[in-house]
C-alpha cells in the first residue's frame, strides 16, 4: 500500500509567521550615486553658506514656542503674531504670568490659536517643573512636551543647539519623494532616508537648504527648474526643462537672487 505523501510546511520564523508566505521587503533602488548626492549638497552650500530659518526668535524657548505656533500656519504669519508676544514673555515663567487668555489674544491671527495657547501654557509649566525652566537638548524629552512632535523637536535641536537633525516638513517630504533622494510614505521614512544619504559634512545645514529649495525653487505646483542649481543632476520624473545648472557665485547678491 502506497504511503500518503507528506505535505511540506515552510519553517516558521521567530515571530511565528510562515516564511513561505511572508512578503519580502521591497528593495529601493537609489536614484543617485554618493558622488551625485555630495555634489547636490556642495552646490547648496555654495548657494547659501549660512542658511537661516525664517521663524524669528530670541532664545531656545521662544524658538520652541514659535515652532509650536507654526503648525498649519505660515512662518510669516507666526512672525507677525509672535513679535508682541515674545516682547511680553520670553521665558516659561513670564509666559505663565501672561496666562492662556492673554496669549490667545496675541496669537488670534494664527490658525488653531486656542489649542496652541493651551499648549504654550502646558509646555511652559512642564519646562519649569521638570527641566528647571530650560529647553532640553534631547529629542525624547522634547517630544514629551505638549504640542511638540518629532518635527518640532528636530527643528529646535538643529536651530537652537546645532545638532545635525532632519526636520521633515511638507517641502522636505515633497523633495525627498520628487527628487528621489529619500522616497518614503511617511515623514519619518523620508527623514531616515535623508540621514543615510546626505554626507556628514553637510548635515548641519541640510534641513534649511532643502526647505528653502522646496519653498522658493522646487515648488509644489510647478518646479522652477530654470532657476535650479542642481537642474543637471536632478532625476525627478517631473521637470519643467532640462537645462544645465547655472554657474554659482558666492556672495550675498547670489543668495538674494536665489530666493
Query: What predicted TM-score, i.e. pTM, was given to this entire model?
Result: 0.76
Q: What is the pLDDT of residues 192-250, one digit of tens each?
A: 999 999 999 999 999 999 999 999 999 999 999 999 999 999 999 888 877 765 555 44
CA dist 197 and 203 (Å) reads 10
Active-site residue identified among 151, 232, 235, 239: 151
Q: What is the CB neighbour count within 10 angstroms for residue 48? A: 19
**Confidence band (pLDDT; 50, 70, 90) for 6?**
low
- Write down all domains in the chain, each with its CATH number in brackets: 60-161 (1.10.340.30), 165-258 (1.10.1670.10)
Cα–Cα distance between 95 and 116 in angstroms, integer? 13
Whether 138 sits among the annotated catalytic residues: the reply is no
> Once rounded to an integer, what is the mean pLDDT over residues 2-7?
52
The 10s digit of each residue's pLDDT in 106-142 is 998 888 899 999 999 999 999 999 999 999 999 999 9
232 is catalytic: no
Q: Is the dihedral of CA 76, 179, 157, 143 positive or negative?
A: positive
E strand or H helix that includes residue 174:
helix 170-178
Res. 5 pLDDT band, cuts 50 70 90 = low
User: CA-CA distance, 158 to 84, in Å (whole number)?
Assistant: 25
Neighbours of 151 (CB within 10 A): 21
Annotated active-site residue in 90, 169, 185, 239? 169
52 neighbors 204 (Cβ within 8 angstroms): no
Amino acid at each position: 500500500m502506497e504511503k500518503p505523501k507528506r505535505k511540506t510546511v515552510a519553517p516558521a520564523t521567530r515571530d511565528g509567521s510562515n516564511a513561505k508566505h511572508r512578503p519580502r521587503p521591497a528593495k529601493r533602488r537609489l536614484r543617485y550615486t554618493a558622488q551625485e548626492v555630495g555634489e547636490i549638497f556642495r552646490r547648496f552650500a555654495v548657494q547659501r553658506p549660512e542658511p537661516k530659518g525664517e521663524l524669528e526668535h530670541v532664545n531656545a524657548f521662544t524658538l520652541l514656542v514659535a515652532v509650536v505656533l507654526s503648525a498649519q500656519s505660515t512662518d510669516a504669519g507666526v512672525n507677525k503674531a509672535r513679535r508682541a508676544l515674545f516682547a511680553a514673555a520670553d521665558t516659561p515663567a513670564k509666559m505663565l504670568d501672561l496666562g492662556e487668555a492673554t496669549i490667545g489674544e496675541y496669537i488670534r491671527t494664527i490658525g488653531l490659536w486656542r489649542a496652541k495657547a493651551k499648549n504654550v501654557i502646558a509646555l511652559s509649566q512642564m519646562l519649569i517643573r521638570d527641566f528647571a525652566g530650560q529647553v532640553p537638548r534631547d529629542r525624547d524629552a522634547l517630544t514629551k512636551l505638549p504640542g511638540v512632535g518629532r518635527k518640532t523637536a528636530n527643528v529646535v535641536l538643529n536651530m537652537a543647539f546645532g545638532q545635525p537633525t532632519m526636520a521633515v516638513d511638507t517641502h522636505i517630504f515633497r523633495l525627498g519623494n520628487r527628487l528621489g533622494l529619500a522616497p518614503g510614505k511617511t515623514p519619518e521614512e523620508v527623514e531616515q532616508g535623508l540621514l543615510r544619504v546626505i554626507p556628514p559634512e553637510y548635515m548641519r545645514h541640510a534641513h534649511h537648504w532643502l526647505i528653502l529649495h522646496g519653498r522658493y525653487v522646487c515648488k509644489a505646483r510647478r518646479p522652477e527648474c530654470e532657476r535650479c542649481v542642481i537642474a543637471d543632476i536632478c532625476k525627478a520624473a517631473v521637470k519643467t526643462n532640462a537645462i544645465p545648472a547655472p554657474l554659482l557665485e558666492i556672495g550675498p547678491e547670489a543668495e538674494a537672487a536665489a530666493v
